[in-house]
Amino acid sequence: MSASADDAPLAGQQAPVLLVVGGDPADVAITAAALEHRFAPDYRVRTAGSAAAALADLDRLGPAGEQVALIAADLHLPDGDGVDLLVQAAARYRGLARVLLFDMDIHHTRIPFTELPALQRASALGQIDAWMVKGWVNSEEWFYPLVQEALSAWSRAHRPSHVVYRVVGEQWDPVCHDLRDGLTVNGVPFTFHLPDSDDGRRLLRDHGVDEVRLPAVIRHDGTVLHQPSLTELATSHGVQVHPTADDYDLVVLGAGPAGLAAGVYGASEGLRTLLLEERSIGGQAGTSSMIRNYLGFPRGISGGELAHRAWQQATLLGAEFAFTHSVTGLATDGARQVLTLDDGRQVAARAVILAGGVTYRRLGIPELDQLVGAGVFYGAAGVTAPAVVGEEVHVVGGANSAGQAALHLARYAARATLLVRGTSLTAGMSDYLIRQIEATPNITVRLRTQVVGGRGTARLEGLTLRDAERRITEEVPSAAVFVMIGAEPRTDWLAPVLALDERGFVLTDRDLASTDWPLTREPYPFETNRPGVFAAGDIRHGSAKRVAGAVGEGSVAVGFVHRYLAEPAPVPPLRMDHSAASTTAV
């Protein structure tokens, strides 16, 4: 049975709360009954007839130790706006799922066109997680999937039921951070404990952990790994770290959006496909907290979720993955491309797609380079965000990744300051992110500002900023800085064999100089100066640097791989040797 907002919270009750708010008691009762039918007893459903009653109920639940997983509120309430209520509720309960409910309009459509401006604004500003038009007869089809998705996201963040590893180590130890980051970006469930915490001391004692050799990783079966490398951890987790064969039809380097798309299409179209990934599924895109403009996901999707869906899809279609090793060499052996791995192993393929993506450019400030992993991070907030609750943090960069990181950090930090070298955000950031940033009160944007120094011993304590607008240099406190400036491809190992631009990006098809191309035919789209070797995604010169663009390039490149594999053995161009009155093949 639903509890009204006027009831006192039940002490000791552990089931999280789902709160339904609306002005029509009969309408609210229908929604509450639908939720109870599907989600009780795992969740308790409560109702409120107004914004004031809902906020009063939330204020009583918190001090009583109750968890609130979801609030579903009508857009129009007797005493206010439903969106405003959802914003205030989210400020009280971090990670609360927010659902905006609409009355079915005269058109009886899935999108409430009569209320479309309000929905567009709330969605663009990130004020809601989902929305629903009430009145659809089949709850199984429309209502339950939406709520289940929201509750699944809340459960993953607030009460993971399955933990594979327990990590014991120091919060600001770079080695420990790298370990936890590797687990996080690959979606492996784990908990983290400081060695001087109650749980940390118990784990050290119960499992005989050598405290001198932290961080330690305790497996679900009790096995202890002291200071493990990512390769050791992957092997422990049953992850494949070596190719199972020596020869493939297609080898894809990188499991970011472009590589995953190539893996899906390569495997689905009958090619024996191997993906080699050094660190994590999804690449930089996999660390994005929320992608709102990817086709087909109107409510948005996290980069990690998108990447893991693609990984599962590629795996089920037959693609093979091998993790934790980098590629150090590319050579030709007849009609095969031969790749050398960092452990000396070699793997051959009839065709190769380079989809290794890019890395963020370093600041090049010595005092900050010494604190990488200890308050200085290159990439998204991810595993570090919960450690900066109530702190001042900074994000350096003006592109989408920086904006997403600032919004994610703002859920934890007292203030997140976005440092942008340019004069505006519009040059590199999507409009929907700019609008969300402007609407987030604890995000500050500082334009024409650069980091020129920093300070800290065991961890970052502050930054030195140069403000070109005010022509001043100042010291500011900072618990963490996340740097997302520019993009650098790691292609030094390719320089001896492939044509690169001045920044190291791989040149393909029309961007190749005629002197770099060895065959009589024109290079295929995405083909490098080495026939049979293609490049897709961020690593390629002239790419769009967007997730959708990378996915498109990776999938389309496979089509041209097929064309390459179907052609006869390449015929070298003819060179006329006029002095000998003969023709020579080169």
CATH number of the CATH domain containing 391: 3.50.50.60
573 part of a folded domain: no
16 part of a folded domain: yes
* Residue environment code for 373-399, b if the CB has 16+ CB neighbours within 10 A, otherwise e: bbbbbbbbbbbbbebbeebbbbbbbbb
What per-residue confidence (pLDDT) applies to 585? 39
Residues near 69 by beta carbon (within 8 Å), at least 6 away in sequence = 16, 17, 18, 43, 96, 97, 151, 154, 155, 158
Q: Both 28 and 148 in a single domain?
A: yes
Average pLDDT over residues 254-266: 96
DSSP state of 233: H
The token duo for 385 is 């965000």
The token duo for 227 is 């200071």
pLDDT band for position 189 (50/70/90)?
Answer: confident
What distance in Å separates the CA atoms of residue 42 and residue 45, rounded to the nearest whole number?
10
Q: Both 448 and 519 in a single domain?
A: no
224 phi/psi in degrees, rounded to 5: -110, 130
What per-residue confidence (pLDDT) applies to 202? 96
Better pLDDT: 215 or 296: 215
Closest CA to 350 of 332, 336, 331, 338: 336
What per-residue confidence (pLDDT) applies to 134? 87
User: What's the mean per-residue pLDDT of the chain?
Assistant: 89
pLDDT band for position 235 (50/70/90)?
Answer: very high
Q: Both 193 and 297 in a single domain?
A: no
What are 496-537's pLDDT values in tens digits?
999 999 999 999 999 999 999 999 999 999 999 999 999 999
416 part of a folded domain: yes
What are 111-156's pLDDT values in tens digits?
888 899 999 889 888 899 999 888 776 788 788 988 998 898 888 7
What per-residue confidence (pLDDT) applies to 6? 38
578 part of a folded domain: no
Q: Both 407 and 474 in a single domain?
A: yes
Q: Both 265 and 334 in a single domain?
A: yes
Q: Decide which of 236, 262, 289 is a domain's last residue.
A: 236
Q: Decide which of 483, 512, 530 is a domain's last residue.
A: 483
Q: Both 500 and 447 in a single domain?
A: no
What per-residue confidence (pLDDT) applies to 571? 47
DSSP 545-567: -SHHHHHHHHHHHHHHHHHHHHS
Is the per-residue pLDDT at 444 higher than 80?
A: yes
Which of 111-115, 155-159, 360-364 is predicted least confidently?
155-159
Which of 160-164, 261-265, 455-459 is predicted least confidently?
160-164
Side by side, the strands of the sheet bearing 472-477 are 449-456, 460-467, 472-477
Q: Decide which of 483, 509, 541 is a domain's last residue.
A: 483
3-class DSSP state for residue 337?
strand
Q: Both 82 and 197 in a single domain?
A: no
Q: Both 129 and 10 in a single domain?
A: yes
Closest CA to 89 of 131, 57, 44, 116: 57
580 part of a folded domain: no
Is the per-residue pLDDT at 191 higher than 80?
A: yes
What distance in Å separates the CA atoms of residue 277 and residue 346, rounded to the nearest whole number?
15
CA 565 → CA 165, 248, 275, 337, distances in Å? 44, 12, 18, 12
120 part of a folded domain: yes
Domain span including residue 313: 247-359+488-566
We report the CATH number of the domain holding residue 224 as 3.40.30.10
Better pLDDT: 452 or 158: 452
What are 527-585's pLDDT values in tens digits?
999 999 999 999 999 998 889 999 999 999 999 999 999 988 654 444 434 343 333 33
Average pLDDT over residues 200-225: 95
Average pLDDT over residues 349-355: 97
What per-residue confidence (pLDDT) applies to 94? 84
Q: Both 91 and 173 in a single domain?
A: no
What per-residue confidence (pLDDT) applies to 576? 39
Q: Both 478 and 492 in a single domain?
A: no
Most confident of the ranges 14-18, 417-421, 488-492:
417-421
What are 367-403's pLDDT values in tens digits?
999 999 999 998 876 778 888 989 999 999 998 889 9
Count of the separate structural domains present in the chain: 4
Percent of the chain whose pLDDT exceeds 70: 94
We report the CATH number of the domain holding residue 109 as 3.40.50.2300
Q: Both 307 and 391 in a single domain?
A: no
204 part of a folded domain: yes
Q: Both 423 and 280 in a single domain?
A: no
